Structure 1
Amino acid sequence: MKWHVLLFVIVILFVHSNVGEAQRNALFIDCGSNSSTNVDGRKWIGDISTTENFTLSYSGIVAFIDTVDNEPTYGSLYRTARFFNVTSTYKISVFPGTYFVRLHFFPFSFRSFNINESAFDVSANSLKLVSALDIPGEISWKNTRTMSNYSSLVKEYFLNISTNQLEIVFIPKSGFFAFVNAIEVVPVINQLFVDTVNRVGGNGLKTDLNLAERGMETMFRLNVGVPASESSEDKDMWRKWESDEKYMFSVNAASILSNRSSISYSNNDSFVAPLLVYETARIMTDNGVAEKRFNMSWEFNVDPNFDYLIRLHFCEFIFDKQNQRLFKIYINNKTAAEDYDVFAQAGGINKAYHQDYVDSVPQQTDTLWVQLGPDPLTGSPSTDAFLNGMEIFKLSRNGDLAHASNRITINQPGSAGSQPKNKILWVSIGSGILSVLIISLIGAFIFCLCIQRKKVAVPVKETSPGWLPLSLHGAMGSTTNARSYKSPLCATASLCNRTGRRFTLAEIKSATNNFDESLAIGTGGFGKVFKGEIEEGTPVAIKRANPQSEQGLAEFETEIEMLSKLRHRHLVSLIGYCDEQSEMILVYEYMANGTLRSHLFGSDLPALTWKQRLEACIGAARGLHYLHTGADRCIIHRDIKTTNILLDENFVAKMADFGLSKTGPGLDHTHVSTAVKGSFGYLDPEYFRRQQLTQKSDVYSFGVVLFEVVCARPVINPTLPKDQINLAEWAIRWQRQHSLETILDPHLKGNYSLESLKKFGEIAEKCLADEGKNRPTMGEVLWHLEYALQLHEAYTESSNVESFSSSELRFADMAINLPQIKEGETASPNVSRSNYNSTENFRQ
């Protein structure tokens, strides 16, 4: 026991000696000052009389103001600054190693220098830190992004310096000036980061960060669970930890816990974070809900086209055994960890521990999500999740950490807006020649392709109408077929990967009483749908292909291929198929309440309440989000409409009809080039114009569905006045006037929350953005819909104005940030003849 105590004392002394060494070797520069000052317990050296520790290549202009407001800590430090109208370098003597470098900016005008005319680059030892930095614009953007009231800006970098000198270079843009108020250079004695890190979505694969040659910028550093008004600073390396509250998508999704026990570090990594970070945590408010993927979520605005290191801090202070609390970690809607057990990872209770992940944010994406939620299938006593702290670092790419700011609106001399006319002329001429050359090459390619197609007869095309009997399909087992055809999804195999049951035609006929017309419950583009019964009276929906249908073998195999590998609560399950005697038959789970459209208009069924409509949309969104993110490559449904959203006996919504689905683009592509398919009124106009399919094409179609749910009318109605024929165009006009309630389904009058409808209309409008890049992801759509449901629940609970009809079920499958709702005791209506009707698919 004495040896353990002695070892602990030695470790503590070693840590404190390292802290002391770091503090002794740290350098704090008060720019524009002629004397030293003590701020925040540290000695800051004025840079007017440079010392042996650093020199300044060009003195620039010393600027100062009398007082600084709203800066209780660094107010006296920010009274001075150094302005540069030419390039200037701080040359700082250091020992080789890793350092935190912090640059402090507090914008103020001085004499003839207007701070709005400040724009500059900053680099450190050839690593570009910022480009065209516009401090007022940056602070304004930061405030918008974080909803904070900072009047100063501190940019922090983690650098590996291999020489004895750190050179920080300020490069003003032509006609502008640079400035800086203070500089910190803090050595990191212990190893704060390791090169080998888990890659998000890599199924345990590691990736090498190569930090010896890369720099990092601190984007966010959060102490999870502290109030929004509080922030703290660790005294070892003077890192600022702010509250996570303003980054949470829904604060109500989590509650705060505090730890009053003694905490110690796991693996002696006391430099990673101060103990105060591990003393608070957020835990799920309601861990009994059915949907577990989106329980606690944080949203961050980041720079696109960079890799990011995400560091999560944990300390289990409730459970004292393994497998007591297991949860999942998602980053950017990808699985980072499953069945994560903090107790096992940290080695015990009250052990401070951290976990690192790396992920890439692609071009044209400026959002990073971190989500924690439990896995209800683990069987652990606690199905919840928790987090103590979080840090996000941007990794340099090709020697660059800078993201060229599009927030700078100043017309800078030397910028693209003021290039010499002769240069612009030559650029224009070159662009014209290049355009002609590209058009010529494309024309030649098309001509050759047409010639080739005339030589080779293609028996079946993806877009060709008609039906190919299965007896002519070699992959189905025909030995006499001379015209074999493979589904695009099965192009590399002789037979699709099928996991469903293969029914005999005799079994199908028995289940449908030989396709008795009295059992027909709908007709779609593929063929008729019959209600049937298989063993033990299990009801099923049996879809039989029509030989005259435009949908044929390709759609049949696609449906089987997709549903054989997809399983989700909000996707209609494929039970099996039959491919005997030239028949193409699909057998699905029976959806007792038919299509969503049949409960909106065109039938005598009771109208859905606003709550039921919200829950139906949420269910469909969950299914689509799973398609987009749940597989190795996303799956694009391509035919989203209210007739393809089915409701089971409990009015749980499920996506159906995957005959037109398409595997999404690979990691190195942004879209799939393919023939246009879909349904009139729901089709993404950008996809129609460019024939480039993306996940955002599904988002557009879903936006049309949302407006259809609100208005309860067909998406295309030629009998209406010209400006009302197209639902999407008509509804978006009312939405932009903030008057969506004007065209609301009359059945909803007085039984909805106006705030809920407002939120619903906002996300529907975003889905219908002209360009796909401006539309939200399905995950973001889902979040907004769940929030709309939360607003409605709050409205009904507070005013008690909604009376539930006998057809409404109180779902347990609710949004994650809502209190759990018990199942209702009233029965759902028994609909014996569900409407499976669907409009004809549009094909080009």
Structure 2
Amino acid sequence: MSKLRKKFLELLLCVLLIIFTCVVGYGEAQGKSFLVDCGSNTSTKADGRIWVGDLSPNNSLTLSSTGFDATASSPIKSSAFSEIYKSARVFPTTLNYTFDGIPQGSYFLRLHFSPFVMENHNVNESSFSVSANGMRLMLDMNIPGEIAHKNLILQSSGHNSTASSLVKEFLLPLGPEKLVLSFSPEKESFGFVNAIEIVPVVDKIFKESVAKVGGSEVELGLGGRGMETMYRLNVGGPKLGPSHDLNLYRTWETDSSYMVIENAGEEVKNSSNITYALANESPVAPLVVYETARTMTNTEVLEKRFNISWRFEVDPNFDYLVRLHFCELLVDKQNQRIFKIYINNKTAAGNFDIYAHAGGKNKAIHQDYFDPVSSKNDVLWIQLGPDTSAGASGTDALLSGLEIFKLSKNGNLAHLMRFDSSGHSVDDSKMRMIWICIGAGVAAIILVAFLVTFVVCLCKIRRSKSDDSKGNNPPGWRPLFLHVNNSTANAKATGGSLRLNTLAASTMGRKFTLAEIRAAAKNFDDGLAIGVGGFGKVYRGELEDGTLIAIKRATPHSQQGLAEFETEIVMLSRLRHRHLVSLIGFCDEHNEMILVYEYMANGTLRSHLFGSNLPPLSWKQRLEACIGSARGLHYLHTGSERGIIHRDVKTTNILLDENFVAKMSDFGLSKAGPSMDHTHVSTAVKGSFGYLDPEYFRRQQLTEKSDVYSFGVVLFEVVCARAVINPTLPKDQINLAEWALSWQKQRSLESIIDPNLRGNYSPESLEKYGEIAEKCLADEGKNRPMMGEVLWHLEYVLQLHEAWLRKQNGENSFSSSQAVEEAPESSLQACSNQDSSSETKKSQTGSTTLHNVV
């Protein structure tokens, strides 16, 4: 009997061992992650995990083509992923990553992008699409543009931090056995990827049935549907890296950048005894997310109708899943905190009591809501506010975490949203509407033009010969006539004439023939191209008499940049000033749209600061360039009744002639200033990232002080001689304005100036120069000086430097100390409008005043 019992126990032990082995094997299969360091053939440790090079042997993946690998020339200190961001896989043609041995289930797929300088490739020009097992994830993506747009949001919210990398996260149903990840660059472009991360979701973290905002429950159908993580925020707490979320290695950002009014909610914290309300809550979010929260700052304002609001940019025409995380940290009874939840201005939940839903204090829960966003909307609002009708003892609200997921539509998660290097987007659906409107408008105008032409022909028949000869005068610029809607709008906006096309010859200078233009530009030889924009190219040309000219040619039969092109025509036909680039003439033959300007022999100011082999400018030359451009801007702001706001002040739009005289150029984005009874112009945000006024971005209210802010960035760029945005630098140095301003506030600007200036400038002049730049970059426009005041102080800085030079050369007739004694109070507030006006009038002596187009 004992032998039988022994055999039975042995058999039972074997069975249990087999079962244990199967369970463990299944768990390992289900829990297997794929961590790939792209552009590498070795293993790398980052964020506490081992990442295998995509060319390493036995890495469970194959590449359809290798493209080539790239390595950063300088260390990257952007995040815990720094080690894997040092390399990248670059592909000029389609590249497929095929992963084998993937069990069926749900997986987080994360694609890591961190642009850096690559030999023979301009990373700013990269553009590519990505798909996974046929599901399109990304379309025509420009990574630097995406990063710049993210930084634009951070800058607009007044935050100093900037991003230098991008992680795109998707939740996909995969398997069985294989994942094909396809990267496809656009024609004549390329793509890159730094790392690929595939993490299994063993526990089910989403329910199929979810409450629809303002309606009944809906089925998500996640078995055949993918999701993209748009936002994941630790509300009221710090940023949490993957090391805080060991189940799924997610990153939780801070929420303050997305708050409409940041001080509307205050942070609260309680890390004691927090548990999950339900056992299946554990993989949804780590407990540390629930240890912090945001509550209403003041519950007694605005008759208790005050809300905490978050604003998020989303892709239109998609369904969204909004997940809100709650944990009651303060109250210990029901009915003490009851509030409403609003999503896109619709009530998602009323009478919401965290304590009641969770079953007590310090218990973590979450709520999911489904909301479709229409094709006409690209913003998702989330608001929490008191529910005064519920009779709670406190009118307050609380939120611990927030996630927003985009759900795939017909096998697609991608949305064509193009961001240029300045971070600004062009929405394809909006562009289609614009083209439809333009097409309808052009058709209507052509019809009207045909009727007018018919009437004119009848009149010509009845005219005398003299009248007939008079009728053969040049008709004006035909393309402008065909797009008279845009011209009219711009003419109205700037106070110009509505008869622009009929006065083109008289206000735009000489009318060139197309043959003359082709001869001057050698049939538009690309070797003579000196610039390019959305409208087309700018060429250097030479007339028969030897005069050098700049020829701006719109791309034939293209509408791109047309509005900006016509705005520039309206502006330049009215503006004449020594420090504004002059318009010489135009050409309108064969539907060409060509403008001819004076040639600026020394190109852009930026080209003399960095990025070229040109000799560096002296401190005096830089000051004179700043003074010249300030004079041009001040003339724009004050030279007419309403003034003109340039809206795109940057060093590439400041040109230098053969004598290094600075002149403002490119007026395509310019707008007329506010009328006498208004303080601002309400308009869509345009400009260049890095130079853009954050107050203008937040409020979409344009003022002259927006130009002043941009000019302040130019001042720092001139003295530091580096790009205003450089994602390859350490995090705190990416944004020049923030970095230089931090040094200036410490009165240590000399620590970061261009090395070419060291020992060749007056320290006193640099000190005053830094004070001017600092004032220009004030957060609020009302605290910034007028351009006339900036001009006056820059001229004073030049006087200080010239006095220092004379002293250095042994000329004692005038010292820098005397300059200080003879100059008025140097504070920016001390310069009156009268002083600046009189000073500017002196600078404009001999210049042609503003022309009114009648």
Q: TM-score, normalised by structure 2?
A: 0.46
Q: TM-score, normalised by structure 1?
A: 0.47
